Each structure stands twice: as C-alpha cells, then as structure tokens.
C-alpha cells in the first residue's frame, strides 16, 4: 500500500470512529446489557501509591478510554468503606478534578465498585435495576472489565454517581426547570456509633457529621442542615394526631415506605434498617421544596437470605416504627412487598441468570478478586436459588401477617 493510501485509510478510520463515538450517550455507557471495557492510563508509580495508600482519598491524574474515546487529565482516587482494598481498589473517577467543567457523555464522574464484598458479582447491579423497576430513585449500573495501563485489573461494577446529573435524570423537569438543584446529602455511617433516627438535639454538628452535603455547599448551615434537624425532632416529638401532616411536609412518607419495603424484599442487611443502624443511602431535599426523599445506594450486602424476615428491625428504627404505626402505611408496606414479589417472579430470576452469564469469563479471569472461582460458583448458585425461594417466602409471610389466604407452597 502506498503512503497516500495509508493516509486516506487512517483518515477514513478516524472519521468513522469519531462519528460512532459522537453517537454514544451515558445510556450506552451504563447499558446493563453490555459488559463494558474501561481503560485507565496513569503513571505506574501513581497506581502503586494509590494501592499502597488505599485508605486515603488522594487524587492522581489519569486518562480514561471507553469505546474509542479518551478523556485526558481526569482525577482518580480510592473509595469505599468496608470495601476498601489495596489489592483491588474501589475507584472514583472525576472528570473535572483538574479541568474545570470537563465532562464525558454529560457525566462529571462515575464509580468503579470493586465487588470485593460480593463473590457472585451481581448483587449490587441486580438490586439497583430492581429498585429502578419499582420506582425508587437509583443509579444506573452495569459491569466492566477494567484495564490499567493495558493490564487487566479485574471485573468491576460501573456505577452512576449520585450528583446533579443523576438528579436531573431521576426527577425530571417541571416545565423548563430541571429538578436537580435541591439539597443532596450522602449519609455517612459513623463507625461505632449506630444511629436509628433518635433526636441528637438542636445543635447542627451531629447532622453535619452524618449528612455530607453534595450540592449547594456554600449555603448557611441553618439552610442546609436545619430542615434535617427539624425533621428528626418532629419524628421524635410530634403527636400521632398531627404526625402524618407535619412529618409528611418534610418527608415523602409513601416514597419512604416503598423504599424500605423493596429494600427488605432484596434482603438488604446493611441498609436503612441495617444491623448496625442506618447506612448506605442518599437523601435529597427536592428543589424549591421542604420535602426529602431517599435515593438507593450501595446494595452489595443485599440478598442475604431468602427467609430474611419481612419485619426485620422495623421496630428498631424510630422513623420506621412511628411511620408504620399508621394503618395506611403498614398496609402499603405489605402491599409493596407483594408487588415486589410479583415483579421479581417475572423478572429477577432471568436477570440474575443473564448477568451471571455476561460476567462469567471476566469474573473467572479476574486476577485480583479476593475469592476463588469455587467461591464464586457457590455464590452464583446462591443467587440463582434466591428469587423463587424469596418470592414464595414473602408471599407466605405477608399472607400470614395480614390474615389473607396463604398461597400454595407455604409451610
């Protein structure tokens, strides 16, 4: 081939690649039907430093490549709580860390979940798709092979950041006003200090410690955390006669009940009604509103057991206990469990099987996963068996609890 022909071919390839890349969207990036490939290119000494100091949140410069597109001068850091690892670090990717206002496919950032707490590899991703199906705000997720400087660094979950971009997608627009400019908080679990919605007092410091503000950070403390203090105080003090109207003005109560019911259905042991107090959620005060809603986050510890009791710790958390004392909400809780069982019976088992098949080779060849292939196979079997057993258990337990006819198959 002559040199001019080589040049023309290179131009043609570049044009085709650019055209295809331009058509890509964030929906393509998080497409749950696709096992993605993400490449990180960074100084090898920085990668070593990140892994050695994995408990720190130090950022390092990195280039990110996906589907033929490369974004340069991006920030990467270690992330996670119990999932932090120096061998297979969880990662946060920030496109605008060093380049102001830089985005990729409209995204400011995304998360690479290292799946170190889930030998099946699919609990987080199945749970988040299920939350979204049941109408609960949740990030988009899929799986990806991660490569660092050309070497396979393992199978990860590719997770949408909960930020203003996600809020706009989840809450839409009122007229021309995109509903993403409210007050977003990430809940901080305080090690050794479980909290179950009891009232810490009027000082805002306890709320600042637990509710990490992610938007409107420059507003006053009273503006940011004052409404949360008010909500907690009212939950603890208001009489039952005015509870629904008073607390309901600050918290979307039907949405809250739906959230905890679906979280119970997926047998999440470390969620809002967690074994060690509240954990793993975002909290959002809607734009131009006093009302707060919960956003699902971090479901690695879901699918604990098919016979996870449908009333697990409902009386432990003060908010849960006081809301469910009202028949309208207790009835809703059990109704949503039934709805979840119905939806799961039609969708979840097939979805678990599909995701496990999609990740099989990437999981088996993951060189740094903290479990063996035999342990993955065992966890795979547990996930495949979960849905039919859970559906039967929940239907039987709801019928027994509310006093309706128990379906076939109940013990």
Please compute, for residue 231, the number of CA atoms within 13 A of its CA located in the half-sphere on the CB side: 22
Whether residue 203 contacts residue 210, with contact meaning beta carbons closer than 8 Å, is answered with: no
**CA dist list (Å): 249 to 136, 199, 246, 254, 384:** 19, 18, 5, 12, 42
Q: Which H or E element spans position 189? A: none
3 — pLDDT class (breaks 50, 70, 90): very low
What phi, psi does 316 have (nearest 5°)? -75, -40
User: Residue 7 pLDDT > 60, yes or no?
Assistant: no
- Give the number of other Cβ atoms within 10 Å of residue 380's Cβ: 21
> What is the distance between the alpha carbons of residues 27 and 105, in angstroms, rounded to a whole number?
9
| Distance between start and end Cα atoms, the chain | 75
Angle between helices 123-133 and 327-364 (to 10 degrees): 140
> What is the distance between the alpha carbons of residues 153 and 41, in angstroms, rounded to a whole number?
12
**Which tokens in the block code for residue 236?**
């603890």
Burial class for 100, CB neighbours closer than 10 Å (0-12, 13-18, 19+): exposed
**CA dist list (Å): 274 to 121, 233, 271, 280, 371:** 21, 21, 5, 9, 25
User: In this predicted model, what pLDDT tens digit does every residue of 381-401 receive, in sequence order?
Assistant: 999 999 999 999 999 999 999
Q: Which H or E element spans position 278? A: none
User: Residue 19 pLDDT > 80, yes or no?
Assistant: no
Nearest alpha-carbon partner for 15 in 60, 55, 62, 68 = 68
User: In this predicted model, what pLDDT tens digit does every residue of 148-207 receive, in sequence order?
Assistant: 999 999 999 999 999 999 999 999 999 989 999 999 999 999 989 999 999 999 999 999
pLDDT of residue 382: 97
Buried/exposed 134-172: b ≥16 CB within 10 Å, e otherwise = bebbbbbbbbbbbbbeeeebbbbbbbbbbbbbbbebbbe
> What is the distance between the alpha carbons of residues 17 and 23, in angstroms, rounded to a whole number?
10
> What is the distance between the alpha carbons of residues 82 and 89, in angstroms, rounded to a whole number?
11
Nearest alpha-carbon partner for 82 in 58, 59, 54, 111 = 54
Entry pTM: 0.92
Specify which residues 35 forms β-bridges with: 143
């Amino acid at each position: 081939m002559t040199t001019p022909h080589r040049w023309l071919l290179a131009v043609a390839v570049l044009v085709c690649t650019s055209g295809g890349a331009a058509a890509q969207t964030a929906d393509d990036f998080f497409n749950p039907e696709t096992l993605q490939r993400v490449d990180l290119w960074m100084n090898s000494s920085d990668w070593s430093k990140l892994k050695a100091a994995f408990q720190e949140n130090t950022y390092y410069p990195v280039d990110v490549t996906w589907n033929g597109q490369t974004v340069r001068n991006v920030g990467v850091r270690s992330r996670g709580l119990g999932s932090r690892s120096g061998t297979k670090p969880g990662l946060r990717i920030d496109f605008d860390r060093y380049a102001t206002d830089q985005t990729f496919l409209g995204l400011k950032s995304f998360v690479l979940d290292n799946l170190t707490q889930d030998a099946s590899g699919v609990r987080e991703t199945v749970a988040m798709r299920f939350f979204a199906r049941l109408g609960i705000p949740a990030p988009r997720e899929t799986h990806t092979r991660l490569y660092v400087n050309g070497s396979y660094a393992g199978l990860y979950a590719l997770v949408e950041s909960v930020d203003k971009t996600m809020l706009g997608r989840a809450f839409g627009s009122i007229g021309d006003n995109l509903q993403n400019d409210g007050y977003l908080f990430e809940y901080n679990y305080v090690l050794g200090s479980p909290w179950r919605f009891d009232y810490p007092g009027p000082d805002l410091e306890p709320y600042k410690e637990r509710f990490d503000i992610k938007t409107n950070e420059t507003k006053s403390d009273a503006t940011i955390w004052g409404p949360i203090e008010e909500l907690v105080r009212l939950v603890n003090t208001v009489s039952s006669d005015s509870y629904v109207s008073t607390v309901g003005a600050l918290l979307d109560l039907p949405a809250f009940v739906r959230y905890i019911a679906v979280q119970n259905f997926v047998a999440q042991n470390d969620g809002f009604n967690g074994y060690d107090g509240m954990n793993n959620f975002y909290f959002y005060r809607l734009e131009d509103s006093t009302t707060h809603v919960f956003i699902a986050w971090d479901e690695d510890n879901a699918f604990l057991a098919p016979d996870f009791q449908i009333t697990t710790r409902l009386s432990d958390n003060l908010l849960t206990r006081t809301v469910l004392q009202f028949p309208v909400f207790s009835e809703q809780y059990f109704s949503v469990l039934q709805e979840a069982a119905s939806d799961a019976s039609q969708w979840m088992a097939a979805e678990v099987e599909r995701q496990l098949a999609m990740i099989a080779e990437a999981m088996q060849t993951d060189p740094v996963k903290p479990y063996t292939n035999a342990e993955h196979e065992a966890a795979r079997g547990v996930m495949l068996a979960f849905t039919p057993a859970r559906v039967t258990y929940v239907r039987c337990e709801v019928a027994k609890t509310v006093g309706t006819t128990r379906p076939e198959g109940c013990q």
